[in-house]
């Protein structure tokens, strides 16, 4: 089976390409490193020729909300158009748990718009909404830091290991399209402020965490369950303490 991974040079994309190849599939990464640009459309038609499945894990981190919106909507339109021409049978999109519950977050608004484009297209699809990756926790802490103080809310999270996201994406990509949404999360619910304290303790980081209900998460004020999946979510197995134990310690 030929599978195209859009965003094949990122954290999830790199792992996904490797995973599929180890399973014996023909994989084409879509990224500018390979000379294929999903934003301009350059090289897309050739990259998707003969593909049965496209997995979209493209991402953009930018403080400019409009830039993020343009990126996700433009790349998605271009991918869907190229897929229609190539006869692709399954479009798999990686999205975020709670994406429709945090309207003040420009990144999430753009992901909602992206999901809507996928749902409105004629390509059979599955949307996989995942919770925050373990590998992203340090970034959350760093962005919430002023001086030696980290201000975070007590909102709940169920972080998941990136490798487990990759395994589920691959599994779903090889199944029949759901034409719906699958939620994916880690096995443990934890408060964001408490997770930060445990992370800093495990890495011997001297920063202090202050619980602040007004602290913003990428521009948005979170409710208690804004980032928590529903009762039917598919759960990973990697636990927080096991992940923390293998982290490098601060010097």
pLDDT one-digit tens code per residue, 137-195: 999 999 999 999 999 999 999 999 999 999 999 999 999 999 999 999 999 999 999 99
Where along the chain do its domains lie? 2-245
The predicted-structure confidence for 67-109, as pLDDT tens digits, reads as follows 999 999 999 999 999 999 999 999 999 999 999 999 899 999 9
User: Which of 136, 67, 142, 129 has its CA nearest to residue 102?
Assistant: 129
Classify domain 2-245 by CATH architecture.
3-Layer(aba) Sandwich (3.40)
Q: What average pLDDT does the segment 14-24 reach?
A: 95
Q: Is the model's pLDDT at 250 over the cut of 80?
A: no
Torsional sign, CA 61, 63, 68, 69: positive
Residue 247's pLDDT band, with cuts at 50, 70 and 90, is confident
> Residue 125's pLDDT is what?
98
Q: Is the model's pLDDT at 25 over the cut of 80?
A: yes
**Side-chain half-sphere exposure of 89, counting CA atoms within 13 A:** 12
Name the more confident of 217 and 129: 129
Residue 63's pLDDT band, with cuts at 50, 70 and 90, is confident
Task: Answer yes or no: are the C-beta atoms of 197 and 244 closer than 8 Å.
Answer: no
Task: Answer yes or no: are the C-beta atoms of 14 and 57 closer than 8 Å.
Answer: no
pTM (predicted TM-score)? 0.95
Q: In terms of DSSP bridges, do strands 145-146 and 125-130 run parallel, antiparallel, or are they unpaired? A: unpaired
Average pLDDT taken over every residue of the chain: 95
State the burial class of residue 236 (Cβ atoms within 10 Å of its Cβ: 0-12, 13-18, 19+): buried
> Residue 34's pLDDT is what?
83
Task: Answer yes or no: are the C-beta atoms of 74 and 194 closer than 8 Å.
Answer: no
């Amino acid at each position: 089976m030929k599978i195209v991974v859009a965003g094949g040079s990122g954290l999830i994309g790199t792992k996904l390409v490797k995973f599929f190849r180890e399973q014996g599939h023909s994989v084409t990464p879509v990224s500018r490193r390979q000379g294929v640009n999903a934003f301009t459309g350059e090289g897309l038609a050739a990259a998707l020729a003969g593909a049965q499945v496209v997995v979209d894990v493209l991402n953009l981190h930018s403080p400019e909300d409009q830039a993020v919106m343009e990126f996700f909507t433009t790349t998605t339109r271009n991918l869907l158009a190229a897929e229609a021409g190539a006869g692709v049978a399954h479009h798999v999109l990686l999205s975020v748990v709670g994406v429709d519950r945090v309207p003040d977050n420009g990144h999430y608004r753009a992901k909602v718009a992206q999901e809507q484009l996928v749902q409105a297209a004629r390509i059979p699809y599955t949307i996989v909404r995942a919770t925050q990756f373990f590998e992203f926790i340090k970034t959350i802490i760093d962005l919430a830091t002023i001086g030696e103080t980290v201000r975070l809310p007590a909102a709940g999270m169920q972080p998941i290991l990136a490798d487990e996201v990759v395994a589920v994406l691959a599994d779903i990509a090889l199944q029949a399209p759901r034409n719906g949404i699958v939620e994916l999360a880690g096995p443990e619910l934890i408060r964001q402020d408490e997770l930060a304290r445990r992370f800093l303790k495990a890495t011997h980081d001297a920063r202090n965490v202050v619980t602040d209900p007004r602290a913003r998460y990428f521009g948005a004020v979170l409710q208690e369950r804004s980032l928590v999946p529903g009762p039917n979510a598919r759960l990973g197995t990697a636990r927080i303490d096991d992940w923390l134990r293998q982290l490098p310690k601060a010097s």
